[in-house]
Amino acid sequence: MVYRLLFPLIDRIDAERAHGLAVRALKLGLPLGSGRPQPDPPVLRQTAFGLTFVNPLGLAAGFDKNGEVVAPMLGLGFGFVEVGTVTPLPQPGNPKPRLFRLTRDRAVINRMGFNNEGAAAMAQRLAQGRPGGRPGGTRGILGINLGKNKDQTDAAADYVAGVAALGAFADYLVINVSSPNTPGLRALQERGRLQDLIAHVLAARNALQRKPPLLLKIAPDLLEEERTDIAAVAVESGLDGLIVSNTTIARPAELDPRYAGEAGGLSGRPLFEPSTALLGDMYRRIEGRLPIIGVGGVANGADAYAKIRAGASLVQLYSALVFEGPGLVQRIKSELAALLMRDGFASVAAAIGSDHR
C-alpha cells in the first residue's frame, strides 16, 4: 500500500536510476517490504530438477545483475532468486538511456546489454557472503544466469568460463541465449549451434565437484521450426530444464506510442499472453519431460496459476515489482495458494500442465 502511494513520485525518476536506488536501499537493509513474510503454506512447496523450493515464486534475472541483494530479496518471500545476467568480463552495456518504464501499459522496455561487474566480482561477493550476498544457511534457492561478452566470438568459451567461475555458488545455472540486446546472441538458438553450445557447457558443469542443474532460457519470438528444434535439443542434450521466456522484440499495436519505437526487449503485462502460449506449446512438445520455469507478465496469483496450468513447475517475475512494489510477493503467494486449494490441488505439482489434460 505504501509503495502504491509513493509510486507517482517514483514514476518521475529515470527508470535506471530508480532501479539503482532500490538496489542500494536493499543493500543498506532499509525496510522496503511489508513486514516479515508469513510462513508459506504447504500447498506451495515444490520440487524441480532435484531442488526443493519453499514456494514456486522466484525473482527473474535482470534485477540483481551482480549478486548484491540475494538475501534481502529472499527475505521478501521469494522461494528463489536468479542473479545476472553475468558475463566473464565486466562490461558497461549499451549507451543510455536504455531502460524505459511504460506505466500505462504496466510494461518495461530495456536494451541494457548485459551491463555487469563480471564473473570474478560476483564470485568474490558470493564467496565472502557480504551484506546483500548469500550467507550460508539462507533459506531459498540461488540461480545464476550466464551470458557472453559482447565482443566475444567464441560464445561457448564464455559460457564455459561462467560455469567455472560461478558454478560452485549456484543451486542452478542458466544459459541465456535469448536476450535481444547482444548482437547475434539469439542466433545461438539455431539447432546445430545450440547442440554444440550445450555440449560444451554441460562438460564444464560435469567437471565441477557439485553439479548444479543446467537450464536454457529461450526467446518468445520463435518460429515453428525453431520451437521444434529447441524442444528436441532440450530433451536429447541432457539439459535439466527450460525457462520460458525472455523479453520480446514484438510491439503490440496498443503499446504507448511514445515508447513503441524504442529498441530492446519488452516485458511486463504485454508479454504475459505470448510467453504463456509459448510455455504451453513447449510443455506439449517436450511432453512434460523437463521442468519449465514460466516467466513473462506475472502480476498476480491468477497469472502465476495460469503459468502453472500451462506447464510451469516454477514461476518468476520482475517487471510487476516496478509498479506494485515488494508487497506483491506475498500477495501472489496467498492468491496462488487459494486458487490451488479452490480447484482441489493438494500441491503445485498436481496442477502442472492441467490445462492440457
Catalytic residue numbers read 179
d(CA 35, CA 58): 19
d(CA 311, CA 319): 21
d(CA 267, CA 246): 8
H helix or E strand, kind and range, residue 325: none
CA 227 from chain centre, in angstroms, equals: 20
Region of 275 (left: φ > 0; alpha: ψ -120 to 50; beta: rest) is: alpha
Contact present, 243 and 189 (Cβ < 8 Å): no
d(CA 196, CA 343): 43
Rg (C-alpha) for the chain, rounded Å, is: 19
SS (H, E, C) 35-94: CCCCCCCHHHCEEECCEEECCCEEECCCCCCCCCCHHHHHHCCCCEEEEEEECCCCECCC
Nearest by Cα to 123 from 61, 67, 207, 64 = 67
**Burial profile 63-85: b = 16 or more Cβ within 10 angstroms, e = fewer:** bbbbbbbbbbbbbbbbbbbbbbb
Neighbours of 21 (CB within 10 A): 13
